[in-house]
Structure 1
């Protein structure tokens, strides 16, 4: 596989115990090879990194998110292991983009996701820019071309910019909509100040469902859950994508586009819990971590806890 790096065991370190008390002792680092994906447990989750900030660069963002995947792994490593032996956790390495060829990396990422899903492994993608979403969705569609896939995006941005010559971190969902007549997209946490009138117009034309950040709060929990459940009922499977720049910069300063008016952890976790308990969620990614601008690894730790809770909820 092009642009592929084997998992790095040195990222998984921490306290040593006799009974696998920590995640670094439970995780298995295996290359993304068909022979390695046999005889796995029913609940198997695979971490796959997307070491690419070319899409962010093209979108005039702050580069550095290619360092995100490995930093998330470092923050996951020391967490307490409360998962049963029936849960398998794998690190299957990274897809990289060192030459600026975003499109090639996206194609390889789609292939990798399709392979994992084919082997009934739950992919958890670590970004990397939000251009990952285009390849992630395509990987899912390769495996289930006839199923209705609902996209739920926790984000400050629609990411519905029109592709001009090449894609970037702001175009993935427009690209998906352009190539799929059955486009089902729900955004949670959209900020007016971060999306111009044309983007809102595009969202309305594509019949995008969304909740703005002023309403995406724990005080509106009941209404949000109602909207979520209605959307979930309308699709066969769910793909959840979490852009860390949707969170308030008080908890997520280390992103390409931080915002002090982003949403908080409580409502995000509550919504994620509803999504996970639907029995329709088949794949997840967490994107836009930029360790270069993080403070005391606050954002990386948030990403790690999100992953930890998603696995727990499922």
Structure 2
């Protein structure tokens, strides 16, 4: 694994207790170069960092998301731990992008995700650019080649730009659509101002389901729940991807493409809960966090709370 780097364990620090009161005391760091994954005896959630913003650079976005995963870890570390001993949370390190070779990084990321799924770990991937989605989906398909995978994307953008010579952070779902016979894609929070007419045309040609940000509100909760549940019913598994630039920039200033008209935390939290409760969610990621433009760690804190919320909602009762 030439692009792999083990976790910097100094990121997992904070207040010290005698009873794992904080997440940094709960997290177990695993070096994939020295340790072999095995099927866990407990319910296991595994963090993997995708320290890559080459796709953002190719898409002419503002770079800096490469440093996102470690900043999210820092904010996760200090959160209070309410998980019992039957829950494992692992950190297996980062995949890097050396010398701008995005395709190599995506392939290695896919292989690790497939291995995590094979060993019954629930992957939560920390980005990094949204080009991660192409790698993430391919990792799921490698492990479950005969299953119908549904993608639910909380995002301001379709990310359906047509590829020319190379993939970018704006092309992952178009790439997926062209490489698979079945393409099941639901976008929540799409903004007209951030997607041109050609992107809407592509979305409609590919039968993409979507709700615009004016519809994706807590006041429209019941209608949104119906859309989400109907989508989930048509697939075998769900892959959830959360682009932080879908949130209002008042909540998430530290992203690659900020927007003042993004969605709010309340509807995102509700949506995540519905998806987790479906029992079909098998993998998730959080992308486009750019600490270079964050303010008082607002976006990093939001990302860490979303990770914590996913785990809370996924725990077997």
Q: Please indicate the TM-score interval, normalised by the length of the shorter structure.
A: over 0.9
The alignment partner of 1:238 has SS state of strand
Q: TM-score normalized by structure 2?
A: 0.98
SS at match of 2:110: helix
Corresponding residue for 2:71? 71
- Verify: 1:233 aligned to 2:220, yes or no: no
Match of 1:9 in 2: 9
Residue matched to 1:246: 246
Give CA deviations for 1:194-217 in whole Å, capped at 9, x if unaligned: 000000000000000000000000
How far, CA to CA, are the matches of 2:176 and 2:33 in structure 1?
28
Preserved CA contact (<8 Å) 2:40 2:120: no
Q: Distance in 2 between matches of 1:273 and 1:245?
A: 20
Alignment correspondent of 1:175: 175
Partner of 1:25: 25
Supply the distance in 2 between the matched residues of 1:34 and 1:181 (Cα, whole angstroms): 38
1:287 aligns with 2:287: yes
Offset at 1:40?
A: 2.4
CA contact (8 A) 2:155 2:246 kept: yes
CA apart distance, 1:32: 2.0
Q: Which runs of 5+ in 1 are unaligned?
A: none
Q: How far 1:36 moved relative to its partner? A: 3.5
* Aligned equivalent of 1:310: 310
Using the alignment, how far apart are the partners of 1:136 and 1:116 within structure 2?
A: 11
Q: Deviations over 1:22-50 (max 9, x none)?
A: 00000000112584322623310010000
Q: Is the contact between residue 41 and residue 88 of structure 1 (CA under 8 Å) also seen in structure 2? A: no
2:209 matched to which residue of 1?
209
RMSD after superposition:
0.9
Does 2:139 align with 1:139? yes
SS in 2 for 1:187: strand
| Aligned counterparts, 1:3-152, within 5 A | 3-33=3-33, 35-38=35-38, 40-152=40-152
Unmatched runs of 5 consecutive residues or more in structure 2 = none
Residues in 1 aligned to 2:276 and 2:204: alpha-carbon distance in whole angstroms: 27
What CA distance in whole angstroms lies between the structure 2 residues aligned with 1:22 and 1:182? 42
Give the distance between the partners of 1:269 and 1:2, measured in 2 at CA: 36
Q: How many Å separate the matches in 2 of 1:218 and 1:98?
A: 42
Aligned equivalents of 1:112, 1:301: Cα separation in 2: 26
Cα shift at 1:276: 0.6
Distance 2:257 2:91 in 1: 28
Query: How far apart, CA to CA, are the structure 1 residues paired with 2:229 and 2:167?
Result: 32
Corresponding residue number in structure 1 for 2:185: 185
Distance 1:127 1:185 in 2: 20
